[in-house]
A = this chain, B = another copy of it.
């Protein structure tokens, strides 16, 4: 009775369902990044620069180590792109007050403007998808996506929907 063709096989359906989810991740990420990549190329930057600009803009005064733990790359890889962004005037570094070993990162006004432009198409893409799918679907999207993320990063992300400061840095 293992009738594969009729789809009564729950294992087959499950596998198919999971593969569809995997593919959605691939396709969505592919298209999510494509437009910003074009813009970056015209500026002589790459996707790595965008990630740094994005997360510095999102976490003003972030120390280097924390940025590394978000990006999950080595400090050498980061310092290459970070150095360019600092030299070209998009990011500034200042020593931490409590811990003067730290270099706290901030976007300059130019950095803020660049971040805004770069993320604009991406925000629009997400906005469009949210609008078409509806509020309930968005809740489901968040739940599932959060479940894909490593546990140690979940709180940080889940907190984002609340209307309160997520972290306090001085």
Contacts and interface: CB of A to CB of B under 8 A. Distances in A.
A149 B16 contact: no
B15 A160 contact: no
Interface in A111-169: 119, 122-123, 125-130, 132-134, 136-150, 153, 157, 160-161, 163
B20 A130 contact: no
Given A51-B26, A130-B21, A141 B149 contact: no
Given A21-B138, A22-B54, A24-B157, 8 more contacts: A24-B141, A30-B72, A132-B143, A133-B144, A134-B140, A137-B143, A139-B140, A140-B140
A23 interface: yes
Interface of A is mostly: helix
Nearest to A31: B150
A97 interface: no
**Interface size classification for chain A:** 35 or more
Contacts of A44: none
A140 B129 CA distance: 11
28 contacts: A15-B123, A16-B161, A18-B127, A19-B119, A19-B160, A20-B157, A21-B138, A22-B119, A22-B123, A25-B29, A25-B32, A25-B126, A25-B145, A27-B148, A27-B149, A28-B149, A31-B148, A126-B148, A128-B147, A129-B144, A132-B147, A133-B143, A133-B144, A133-B147, A134-B143, A136-B136, A137-B144, A140-B141
Contact of A144 (B141, B147, B148): B141
Contact of A23 (B7, B15, B29, B160): B160
